[in-house]
Amino acid sequence: MLLKTPVIEEWSPNGPRAEEDLRELSAVLHAAVHAGASVSFVLPFSLDDAYTFWRAKVLPGVLDRSRVVLVARIGDEIIGTVQLILDTPANQKHRAEVAKLLVHPKARRRGIARALMQAIEDVARRERRTLITLDTRTGDLAEPLYLSMGYVKVGIIPRYAVDPEGRKLEGTTILYKELQ
Ligand SMILES: CC(C)(COP(=O)(O)OP(=O)(O)OC[C@H]1O[C@@H](n2cnc3c(N)ncnc32)[C@H](O)[C@@H]1OP(=O)(O)O)[C@@H](O)C(=O)NCCC(=O)NCCS
């Protein structure tokens, strides 16, 4: 199944599979955190915790259109996702923030993250956003991906967040890209 090419699409909370999709998005987040991803959460992190994030934090934003969620599917199964946060301050309506780029550990190194990032840039253009900002744990695998896509590294904030195991503070790298 994983040899198939994923389809990338904007996630709709109104579709017939919405509840199932929330469960699958939770499974992707849960698996990523348990594989070491530093994406706001600290272990122990249950599937229910992941579901609460999607339902309570993400879903309202999708419903009020302050957030766009893209999903990568193989068949019906979601194996990757990324978000664009649009509710920027009144003086930054040309800017959007990319968040929660996640690919299930079983589907990595097949270009899915790169495809998700290309698609989210298209969404930003559609939303008339010309500046994308994001941050990522310093030294993470995502950093070379962003750099290869033309993101500019602004710098590192040291000791920004605790690692998923809650043992040590780690830095975050701030990046941006101006869209053409
Ligand atoms: C980072 C992540 C999204 C990459 O997903 P992916 O689908 O495996 O990435 P891709 O196959 O599209 O690879 C894109 C680029 O990322 C980098 N990369 C990804 N995995 C890598 C690895 N294991 N080793 C080295 N580079 C890697 C490479 O630059 C790669 O480009 P290349 O294939 O041309 O060398 C995935 O590892 C993940 O979900 N990590 C946990 C969550 C996370 O850290 N998200 C970023 C938060 S901002």
The tens digit of pLDDT for each residue in 51-67 reads 999 999 999 999 999 99
pLDDT above 90 (res 1) = no
Paired residues of 9 in beta bridges: 71
Compute the distance between CA of residue 96 and CA of residue 123 in angstroms, rounded to an integer.
10
pLDDT above 90 (res 4) = no
Residue type, 7: V
Q: Is the CB of 103 under 6 A from ligand 1?
A: yes
Compute the distance between CA of residue 69 and CA of residue 58 in angstroms, rounded to an integer.
8
CA of 28 to the centre of ligand 1 (A): 15
Q: Residue 31 region, left (φ>0) first, then alpha (ψ -120 to 50), else beta?
A: alpha
Shortest-distance Cα residue to atom 9 of ligand 1 = 113
159 burial type by CB count under 10 A (0-12 exposed, 13-18 middle, 19+ buried): exposed
Q: Is the CB of 34 under 6 A from ligand 1?
A: no
Shortest-distance Cα residue to atom 27 of ligand 1 = 141
CA of 177 to the centre of ligand 1 (A): 18
Looking at CATH, the fold of the domain delimited by 7-129 is given as: Aminopeptidase (3.40.630)
Contact 70/120 with Cβ under 8 angstroms? Answer: yes
Which atom of ligand 1 is nearest to 116's Cα? 12
Domain boundaries, given as residue ranges, for the chain: 7-129
Per-residue pLDDT of 68-107, as tens digits, reads 999 999 999 999 999 999 999 999 999 999 999 999 999 9
Per-residue pLDDT of 93-146, as tens digits, reads 999 999 999 999 999 999 999 999 999 999 999 999 999 999 999 999 999 999
What's the pLDDT score for residue 180?
Answer: 86
The pTM of this model reads: 0.98
CA of 89 to the centre of ligand 1 (A): 30
Band (40; pLDDT cuts 50, 70, 90):
very high
Compute the distance between CA of residue 155 and CA of residue 174 in angstroms, rounded to an integer.
6
106 burial type by CB count under 10 A (0-12 exposed, 13-18 middle, 19+ buried): exposed
Q: Which of 40, 71, 109 to mutate to test the pocket of ligand 1 (most atoms within 8 A of CB)?
A: 109
- CB count within 10 Å of CB 163 equals 14
Q: Is the CB of 174 under 6 A from ligand 1?
A: no
Shortest-distance Cα residue to atom 41 of ligand 1 = 37
Q: Is the CB of 101 under 6 A from ligand 1?
A: yes
DSSP classification of residue 144: H
- CB count within 10 Å of CB 67 equals 21
